[in-house]
Amino acid sequence: MSGKTHRAAQVKQANGKLEIVNKQTPQAGRNEILIKVVASGICASDHFTMTGMMNSPYPLSPGHEVVGRIETLGQDCSKDWKVGQRVGLGWNGGYCHQCTFCRKGDFVHCQASKITGVTIDGGHQEFVLASESAVVDLPEDLKMTDSELAPLLCAGNTVYEALLDAGLKAGDTIIVQGLGGLGHIALQVGRKAGAVVVCISGSPEKKDLALKLGAHYYFSSKDNLEEEMKKIGPAKIALATAPSGDAPKQLIPLLDKYGKLIIVGTPNDGKELGVNTMALISQYIGVQGAKCGHAADNEHFIKWCNLAEIKSMSKEWPLEKAHEALTDTFTGKPQFRNVIVMGHK
Ligand SMILES: [Zn+2]
Ligand SMILES: [Zn+2]
């Protein structure tokens, strides 16, 4: 420890509250980087840390959508990093380099991977320690603000990787179900990647916003979706972003033969996905999950977002109101991402 302290929002135990505390500022170990946090996005997945669903070690600061600057570098870090450099930190908090997945270069699925803000301290604090392999090199000249940028490191990269993994090509029809933290970025990504974009959401009043963000078509989940999709043509990919366990099954009849249903929304309604398996068999439809990429994936993605003018619609909150901001996210009210900004003195 450095003997210095900093302000942090941390949870002491499962199902506790985020409290503001003074925490010892750690020193960077050999392959670690200490980041001075500027902005830290609140994600629905902070729920894992707050509830103990992923065996978080307490006390812990959540936060895995971090934008900041390098404060100090460990002695064995690559010479490419510089103190003061703008960097980010996402869900992937570093990997082991030794497990079967790492040896195949599949770092996202490292069997011993650290998860920022879930299994190790995250960004809802003024300083966060990161493994060098997890640090995202961010250009200085991005057109978006820190709070517009932070959610791209998890929410944005998750929907981007999901669409690419599903084989998205220009001209394909995709469905984005849900217009919240993930969905509002997925509409932009799909549109800028050349897809025909269909948005399905629960509330008819979101239509104008969906079209502005990039949707070509908008339907309420109560519409006759099978009839509407007959006019457009079946979708190659359906991306389920709503936090519901069973809502994605509505998408299966809307998919083309060999279509893919990709689930990225973390369910919070206790429901499970009951599907008509005959439809999967007869149409060769695949159902899979997807998650955020690693640091290098994020570097590639953020540069493209900057050129394509993709950004998060974010609301800024001071660190003191971290718990209020978190509660706002969990109740589904924000339009669309809540981001803590540190306001260093
Ligand atoms: Zn996240
Ligand atoms: Zn590994």
What is the number of the ligand closest to the CA of 105? 2
Residue 28: the pLDDT is: 97
Q: Report the separation in Å between the CA atom of 344 and the middle of ligand 1, taken as the mean of its atom positions.
A: 24
Domain coordinates in residue numbering, the chain: 5-153+294-341, 155-289
Residue 134: the pLDDT is: 96
What is the number of the ligand closest to the CA of 157? 1
What is the number of the ligand closest to the CA of 89? 1
Q: Report the separation in Å between the CA atom of 112 and the middle of ligand 2, taken as the mean of its atom positions.
A: 5
What is the number of the ligand closest to the CA of 45? 1
Q: Report the separation in Å between the CA atom of 110 and the middle of ligand 2, taken as the mean of its atom positions.
A: 4
One CATH from 3.30.1330.60, 3.40.50.11540, 2.60.40.1930, 3.90.180.10 for 5-153+294-341:
3.90.180.10
Tokens of 271: 């429901």
Q: Report the separation in Å between the CA atom of 300 and the middle of ligand 1, taken as the mean of its atom positions.
A: 18
Alpha-carbon distance 343 to 345, whole Å?
A: 6
Q: Report the separation in Å between the CA atom of 29 and the middle of ligand 1, taken as the mean of its atom positions.
A: 26
The one-digit pLDDT tens for each residue of the chain (345 residues) are 668 999 999 999 999 999 999 999 999 999 999 999 999 999 999 999 999 999 999 999 999 999 999 999 999 998 789 999 999 999 999 999 999 999 999 999 999 999 999 999 999 999 999 999 999 999 999 999 999 999 999 999 999 999 999 999 999 999 999 999 999 999 999 999 999 999 999 888 899 999 999 999 999 999 999 999 999 999 999 999 988 888 899 999 999 999 999 999 877 778 888 888 998 999 999 999 998 999 999 999 999 999 999 999 999 999 999 999 999 998 877 678 999 999 876
Q: Report the separation in Å between the CA atom of 282 and the middle of ligand 1, taken as the mean of its atom positions.
A: 34
Residue 266: the pLDDT is: 79
What is the number of the ligand closest to the CA of 108? 2
CATH assignment of 155-289? 3.40.50.720
DSSP-derived secondary structure letter, 311: -
Q: Report the separation in Å between the CA atom of 97 and the middle of ligand 2, taken as the mean of its atom positions.
A: 5
What is the number of the ligand closest to the CA of 337? 1
What is the number of the ligand closest to the CA of 92? 1
Look at residue 333 and give its three-state secondary structure.
Answer: coil
Residue 115's contacts (CB-CB under 8 Å, 6 or more residues apart) are 54, 64, 91, 92, 93
